[in-house]
Amino acid sequence: MISGNVVSIYICPTKGQSLQSVNQVQAVPGRGLEGDRYFNQRGSFSDKPGEGRQVTLIEIEAIEAMNDELGISLSPSEARRNLVTRGVPLNQLVEKEFKVGEIILKGIRLCEPCDYLAKLTQPEVLPALVNRGGLRADILSEGIIHVGDVVKEV
């Protein structure tokens, strides 16, 4: 049984800005995280509709491993994912429903690194985060996600 927790939450009002750390955020099915660029249709990829664009997650372990391997210091906010988890093998949640606190999400696909992330950070993040760049998910139930919430399979 998968179980871990949320260690940080990030939102960003418009594309290209630095992500802001928050202690909690309202999750809304079909929209995303309130206050985030994609919730407001102001993200870099907002013109590309489809599943898996409501919330993104990444493992803190993947960020720490990449930093150790490359000798860099990429912060969790620079990874540009909404929820940073610890103890959750996110790749195993593709096509599965899971809970973050009381909120139900569905893993849609891996959130592979892209050229945009490399442009905003460092080119080395592209190969370093392949297959460990996180998870794209859709929100199935409305409510508040908090730092410290448990993440587990439904």
Number of domains comprising the chain: 1
pLDDT of residue 32: 93
Residue-range definition of the domain harbouring residue 115: 3-153
CATH number at residue 91: 2.40.33.20
Spatial separation of the C-alpha atoms in residues 40 and 35, rounded to whole Å: 7
Q: What's the CA gap between 97 and 68, in Å, rounded?
A: 32
Residue 128 three-state SS: helix
State the pLDDT at residue 127. Answer: 73
Residue spans of the chain under pLDDT 70: 41-50, 118
Q: In this structure, is the dihedral angle defined by the CA atoms of residues 49, 63, 150 and 93, taken in order, positive or negative?
A: positive
Contact 89, 2 (CB under 8 A): yes
Whole-number pLDDT of residue 118: 67
pLDDT value for 9 = 98
How many angstroms separate the CA atoms of 139 and 131, rounded? 22
Residues 6+ apart with CB under 8 A from 64: none
